[in-house]
Structure formats: structure tokens, C-alpha cells
């Protein structure tokens, strides 16, 4: 077949380094950008096959999100903005690791297994973040797409320059206009609609200090600002004009370091938030009059959003099942508050929004957030229809109708794909405005248990296997017993370890009744990992 000849010819220009083995991880392939050219080409091939199979447009996003600038990565996105299915993740790993001479065989295996009609047309959307390596790597994706005769959507001979992740999120019929302009219009109009009866807000209340992590989100917020008609007044920091991507800024830095981005002047009490490099995560924070930093992470967002939605559902008299989905990183206080005070069903999954997303789909209203600020809200079709019917019903009383209208507008401000910092920001801003709530009042809903996250370098992080939504380590032998014994030394303590799916490290999480205890526990568990799981480099030092 001529297509296969073209694949052979083109793949020679994107050769695989001998012996390199990479896994499709938490969020696709991620490693140093220098090792990714062949992966990008092959993901262009795979996306074309996926498009032929689904008869729909597939997204390929070139990004390493929160990782440092020198890394890059790629993930495939299904037509409705979801991550590709587990089977296709396996195809991706097989195709990525096939030796150069076996590439065609690996490709044909997938075609056969999935019974793909090769004469079916294929369309692929390619997006990229602002990393310097993203231009050539996304070109490699496009080479893969064209080698198999697929079409890549966009301008300039099929190249989508500057199109961010959010565009992949507006793929498919759900949102209508799959353009950046369509995105701004939809979400900003919904925000304005939601906040229109909160006319007493002062300029101070409409003001938000945003750290764009020097990433794509900063560029897009700049473009979007005029659509907000001053109902949200954003002062944008780390807009990419000088600083480095994610360097001492961004959602991951703020969450893990538990401090504000370097170099931003924050006034006491000022409401601030940070995006990550590809704008799919967001965390909020402020400093108080004594200069103490307060973080409002994904758990706090999930709590605010689910409280708001639950109240509206009750006022609307709608009997819809609402649940919150978290991971092991969720602060123990948040889970306790949700289950015991709010009486909301809470489920725990493995790390990775793709896992949370699938569990959230089981409910009428599924609020899911990772503590790192990655998440959204899903409404079942039936729930949306009930809300819509009530909002249009002329026979219901004012209170029920008002709640239904608010619910309907809330749905419109939410991007129900796998997490979008801009839409999450508009949702949180709208809820705070409607409730007339300051960030400090939001923060007092519950008090986080002090916690610490650390990273440990080991020779091969795959020696750690986990179970129970990553809360317990099955291997190496003795590690879980060591963690259990360490946890017993502290009050209100909990700790777990897991191999990262985006960085070459083992992650350690600990929480306890005081920051000193959380820090000490995290350090002791890190030592256990270092000793029992093949640590490399210097032994972890106390904090
Ligand atoms: C990605 C995933 C998140 C996950 C994070 C860290 O985020 O989308 O769901 O929490 O990686 O994963 P890990 O602990 O396995 O390294 P992002 O923002 O980097 O795409």
C-alpha cells in the first residue's frame, strides 16, 4: 500500500533511539524533549488511525504541562475532549516502543485488531504549548498524520499555530463552535449571565490577581479579557513576556511549595490564582495581614462547587445524585467535611484526571478535582434535561425556578471535558460573586490538615506497585509495613507513596496534625523509599 511506503519513508526522518522504552503514563508520554521526536511522529500515525476508527476528529496535544521547560510530552484526545481509552493507551505504548524495522508490523497489528477501514477519511487537530521544543515536535505529529493520509485541521497548510489545549476541549458537537473565538464567547457570556444579578460588587471584588505560569493560558486570557466586559478584572502576572515556563510559578509550584509565585506582589487579602503551563490546573491563594500564605487547592474548589450545586438542587427540588471524586492526595479534612458535614458521597480513584472523569460519569452530578487543581463537573444528560425543563416550566414557584435558572447558567460556564483552568476560574469567580463570599470566608469552610509532598529519585520507579487507589504499596517487600509503622508515630497521620506517571520520581505524600509532624513523616517515608526501593543520589535530608 502506498500509505505504508510513505510511513516507512517518513519514519526514517523520525528514527527511534535504540533501546529507548517509554510508557503512556498519567497524561501521555512525557520526558526530556530530545527523546520525543519519534514518539510524536508515531502518535500522529496513531491519532490518524483513531480518527478513522471513530469517524471523528481526534486531538493531539503537545505539552508537558507542569514539567520543566526542557521536558515535553504528548497526549491523545478523543472526540468529546476525553483522554483516549485504555486499549488505545496500550496501542500507543506498543507503537512507541517498536524498533524502527518493526514499526510497520506494529501499525498493521493495530489496524487488524481494531478492524480499521483504511479508506475512511481522518481528521486530526494538533495543539501545542509554549515550550521552545513544541514547534518541531508538533511538526513531527503532522508528518505522522500526513504519512497515513490524514488531514490536520487548521491554518497554514494544516498547522494549528498557537492553538492551546482548550481548543481540543471544544472538539465535537457538544460545544458547537470549535474555534478559540467560540470558546471565549461561550464561557464569557455564561459568566456574565451568572453574575448579572450581583450588581453591587465593587471593583475590588471583581479584581483577580492571576499567575499565568508563562504558559499558553496567559496568552489566551489576554485575548479573552475583552469578552468579560470588566465583570472580572484580571491583573495578569507571568504572562510569558520574560519569565520561564513554570519556573518558580504556576499551579504545581504554588501547591507543592505552599508559597506564592516568586516575584509577584500580593496585597493582604487579595484573591489570587495560578494556572499551570498548559492551563488545565488552577489553585487559589491569598496572604493574610500577618503575611501568612493560605492555599485553596482542588479540594477547596470541589467543596465550594459541590456545596453551591447541592444548595441549588435542594432549592430547585430536584432529586439528583451528586458525588465528589478525589484521589489519595485529597486532604483528610476535605474528605471528612464532605462526608460528615455536607453528607455528600465521596469516591477515591487513582491519580490522573482520566480516572476521576470516568467515576464522575456514574452520577447525575459528578464533581471531580485532584488536590493539585485539575478537575471539573460533569452533568448526566438526564440531569441536564431535568434542569432545562424546570428552568422553562411556567408553573413552578419563583424560588425553584430561580435555582433552576442558576443551575442552567452554571452548566454553561463549565467545560465538561478533562479540566480547563479558565473555565474553572470563571466558575469559582461566579460562585464567590453569587454567594457574596470573600476568599477568606471560602477558606474557613474547613481547615486543611498540614501536609507535605516530596519526590524521591530511584533507579527504576516501576519497582513500586500500589493498590487501593494508590493508598497502599504492594511492592517492594517491606515498604508498606515501614510506612504503617511510621504513620503510627504521629497524630491524625496518613502517608502513601506512588511512582509518578509524568516525572521520573517516586512521589511521597504525608499529612498530620502539625506541619512539623507532616514534614517529619514525609522525610521518614522518603528515607524508607530510598532504602527499600533503590534510591539514587544523596539520601533525602530532613526539611
Ligand atoms: C497530569 C495529570 C494529572 C496528574 C498529574 C501528576 O497533570 O493530568 O491528573 O495529577 O499529571 O501526575 P503524576 O503524579 O503521575 O506525575 P498535568 O497538569 O501535568 O498534565
Task: Give the CA angle between residues 403, 409, 412 to the nearest 5°.
Answer: 145
Residue with cell 479534612: 333
Q: Tell me the pTM.
A: 0.91
Residue with cell 476535605: 334
Same domain assignment for residues 268 and 306: no
Is the CB of 231 within 6 Å of ligand 1?
Answer: no
Specify whether the CB–CB gap between 315 and 403 falls below 8 A.
yes
Same domain assignment for residues 25 and 151: yes
The predicted-structure confidence for 162-200, as pLDDT tens digits, reads as follows 333 344 444 443 454 567 777 888 899 999 999 998 878
Whole-angstrom Cα distance, residue 510 to residue 449? Answer: 10
**Domain boundaries, position 131:** 2-163
In the predicted structure, residue 390 carries a pLDDT above the cut 80: yes
Please indicate, yes or no, if residue 31 is contained in any of the structural domains: yes
Residues written for the chain: 543
Same domain assignment for residues 303 and 396: yes
Specify whether the CB–CB gap between 275 and 211 falls below 8 A.
yes
DSSP H helices, 436-535, are 439-443, 479-487, 515-532
The predicted-structure confidence for 453-492, as pLDDT tens digits, reads as follows 999 999 999 999 999 999 999 999 999 999 999 999 999 9
Specify whether the CB–CB gap between 67 and 502 falls below 8 A.
yes
| DSSP per-residue codes, 115-181 | T--TTS--EEEEEE-S-TTHHHHHHHHHHHHHHTT-EE-SHHHH--TT--HHHHHT-SGGGS--SHH
Distance 302 CA to ligand 1 centre (A): 17
Please indicate, yes or no, if residue 384 is contained in any of the structural domains: yes
Per the structure, the count of domains in the chain is 4
Last residue of a domain, one of 295, 327, 345: 295
- Closest ligand 1 atom, CA of 372? 10
Q: How far is CA 449 from the centre of its chain?
A: 23
Which residue's alpha carbon is nearest to atom 6 within ligand 1?
502
Whole-angstrom Cα distance, residue 538 to residue 533? Answer: 14
Which residue's alpha carbon is nearest to atom 20 within ligand 1?
65
The predicted-structure confidence for 287-334, as pLDDT tens digits, reads as follows 999 999 999 999 999 999 999 999 999 999 999 999 999 999 999 999
Same domain assignment for residues 382 and 527: no
> What is the pLDDT at residue 57?
85
Beta bridge mates, 379: 365
Please, which residues have CB within 8 angstroms of residue 85's CB and are 6 or more apart in sequence?
A: 78
Please indicate, yes or no, if residue 392 is contained in any of the structural domains: yes
Same domain assignment for residues 278 and 302: no
Catalytic residues: 65
In the predicted structure, residue 156 carries a pLDDT above the cut 80: no
Distance 26 CA to ligand 1 centre (A): 6
Which residue's alpha carbon is nearest to atom 4 within ligand 1?
352
Instruction: Supply the ipTM of this predicted assembly.
Output: 0.97
Please indicate, yes or no, if residue 542 is contained in any of the structural domains: no
CA atoms within 13 A on the CB side of 245: 24
Name the strand (E) or helix (H) holding 192. helix 180-195
Same domain assignment for residues 303 and 376: yes
Please indicate, yes or no, if residue 168 is contained in any of the structural domains: no
Expressed in angstroms, the distance from the first to the final Cα of the chain is: 61
> What is the pLDDT at residue 160?
36
Residue in 150, 141, 217 with CA at minimum distance from that of residue 180: 217
Is the CB of 130 within 6 Å of ligand 1?
Answer: no
Average pLDDT over residues 3-32: 93
Cell of 152: 490536520
Same domain assignment for residues 23 and 134: yes
Which residue's alpha carbon is nearest to atom 10 within ligand 1?
352
Which residue's alpha carbon is nearest to atom 1 within ligand 1?
27
- Closest ligand 1 atom, CA of 327? 10
Residue 364 sits in a domain of what CATH number?
A: 3.40.120.10
Is the CB of 227 within 6 Å of ligand 1?
Answer: no
The predicted-structure confidence for 25-82, as pLDDT tens digits, reads as follows 988 999 999 999 999 999 999 999 999 999 988 889 898 988 999 999 999 988 777 7
Specify whether the CB–CB gap between 212 and 239 falls below 8 A.
yes
Residue 515 sits in a domain of what CATH number?
A: 3.30.310.50
Residue with cell 478492524: 115
| Confidence band, pLDDT 50/70/90 cuts, at residue 536 | very high
Whole-angstrom Cα distance, residue 428 to residue 442? Answer: 10
Is the CB of 281 within 6 Å of ligand 1?
Answer: yes
Mutate to test the pocket of ligand 1, among 213, 502, 503, 509 (most ligand atoms within 8 A of CB): 502
DSSP H helices, 365-415, are 381-392, 398-413
3-state secondary structure of 254: helix
- Closest ligand 1 atom, CA of 370? 10
Same domain assignment for residues 55 and 75: yes
Is the CB of 507 within 6 Å of ligand 1?
Answer: yes
Is the CB of 409 within 6 Å of ligand 1?
Answer: no
3-state secondary structure of 294: strand
Cell of 458: 530511584
Whole-angstrom Cα distance, residue 421 to residue 440? Answer: 21
Same domain assignment for residues 261 and 308: no
The predicted-structure confidence for 123-133, as pLDDT tens digits, reads as follows 898 888 889 99
Amino acid at each position: 500500500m502506498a500509505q505504508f511506503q510513505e510511513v516507512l519513508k517518513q519514519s526514517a526522518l523520525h528514527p527511534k533511539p535504540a533501546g529507548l522504552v517509554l510508557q503512556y503514563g498519567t497524561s501521555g508520554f512525557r520526558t526530556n524533549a530530545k527523546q520525543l521526536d519519534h514518539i510524536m511522529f508515531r502518535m500522529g500515525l496513531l491519532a490518524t488511525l483513531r480518527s478513522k476508527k471513530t469517524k471523528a476528529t481526534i486531538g493531539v496535544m503537545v505539552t508537558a504541562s507542569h514539567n520543566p521547560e526542557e521536558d515535553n510530552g504528548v497526549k491523545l484526545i478523543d472526540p468529546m475532549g476525553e483522554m483516549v481509552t485504555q486499549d488505545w493507551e496500550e496501542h500507543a505504548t506498543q507503537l512507541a516502543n517498536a524498533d524502527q524495522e518493526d514499526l510497520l508490523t506494529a501499525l498493521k497489528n493495530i489496524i487488524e485488531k481494531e478492524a480499521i477501514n483504511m479508506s475512511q477519511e481522518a481528521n486530526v487537530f494538533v495543539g501545542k504549548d509554549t515550550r521552545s521544543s513544541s514547534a518541531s515536535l508538533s511538526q513531527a505529529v503532522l508528518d505522522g498524520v500526513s504519512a497515513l493520509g490524514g488531514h490536520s485541521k487548521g491554518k497554514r497548510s494544516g498547522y494549528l499555530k498557537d492553538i492551546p489545549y482548550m481548543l481540543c476541549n471544544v472538539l465535537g458537537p457538544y460545544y458547537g463552535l470549535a474555534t478559540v473565538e467560540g470558546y471565549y464567547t461561550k464561557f464569557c457570556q455564561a459568566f456574565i449571565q451568572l453574575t448579572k444579578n450581583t450588581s453591587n460588587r465593587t471593583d475590588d471584588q471583581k479584581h483577580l490577581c492571576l499567575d499565568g505560569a508563562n504558559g499558553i493560558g496567559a496568552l489566551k486570557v489576554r485575548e479573552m479579557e475583552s469578552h468579560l466586559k470588566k465583570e472580572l478584572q484580571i491583573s495578569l502576572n507571568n504572562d510569558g513576556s520574560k519569565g520561564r515556563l513554570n519556573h518558580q510559578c504556576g499551579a504545581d509550584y504554588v501547591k507543592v511549595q505552599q508559597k506564592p509565585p516568586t516575584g509577584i506582589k500580593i496585597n493582604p487579602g487579595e484573591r489570587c490564582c495560578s494556572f499551570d503551563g498548559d492551563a488545565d490546573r488552577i489553585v487559589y491563594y491569598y496572604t493574610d495581614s500577618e503575611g501568612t500564605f493560605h492555599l485553596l487547592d482542588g479540594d477547596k474548589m470541589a467543596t465550594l462547587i459541590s456545596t453551591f450545586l447541592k444548595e441549588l438542587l435542594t432549592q430547585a427540588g430536584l432529586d439528583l445524585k451528586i458525588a465528589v471524586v478525589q484521589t489519595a492526595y485529597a486532604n483528610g479534612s476535605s474528605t471528612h467535611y464532605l462526608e460528615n458535614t455536607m453528607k455528600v458521597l465521596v469516591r477515591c480513584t487513582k491519580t490522573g484526571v482520566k480516572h476521576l472523569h470516568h467515576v464522575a460519569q456514574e452520577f447525575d452530578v459528578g464533581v471531580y478535582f485532584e488536590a493539585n487543581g485539575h478537575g471539573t463537573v460533569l452533568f448526566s444528560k438526564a440531569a441536564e434535561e431535568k434542569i432545562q425543563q424546570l428552568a422553562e416550566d411556567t408553573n413552578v414557584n419563583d424560588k425553584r425556578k430561580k435555582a433552576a435558572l442558576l443551575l442552567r447558567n452554571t452548566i454553561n460556564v463549565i467545560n465538561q471535558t478533562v479540566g480547563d483552568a479558565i473555565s474553572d476560574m470563571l466558575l469559582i469567580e461566579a460562585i464567590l460573586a453569587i454567594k457574596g463570599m470573600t476568599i477568606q470566608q471560602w477558606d474557613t469552610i474547613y481547615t486543611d490538615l498540614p501536609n507535605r509532598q516530596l519526590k524521591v529519585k530511584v533507579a527504576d520507579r516501576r519497582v513500586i506497585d500500589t493498590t487501593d487507589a494508590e493508598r497502599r504499596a504492594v511492592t517492594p517487600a517491606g515498604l508498606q509495613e515501614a510506612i504503617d509503622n511510621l504513620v503510627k508515630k504521629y497524630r491524625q497521620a496518613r502517608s502513601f507513596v506512588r511512582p509518578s506517571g509524568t516525572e521520573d520520581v517516586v512521589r511521597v505524600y504525608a499529612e498530620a496534625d502539625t506541619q512539623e509532624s507532616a514534614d517529619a513523616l514525609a522525610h521518614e517515608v522518603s528515607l524508607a523509599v530510598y532504602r527499600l526501593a533503590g534510591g539514587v543520589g544523596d539520601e533525602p535530608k530532613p526539611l
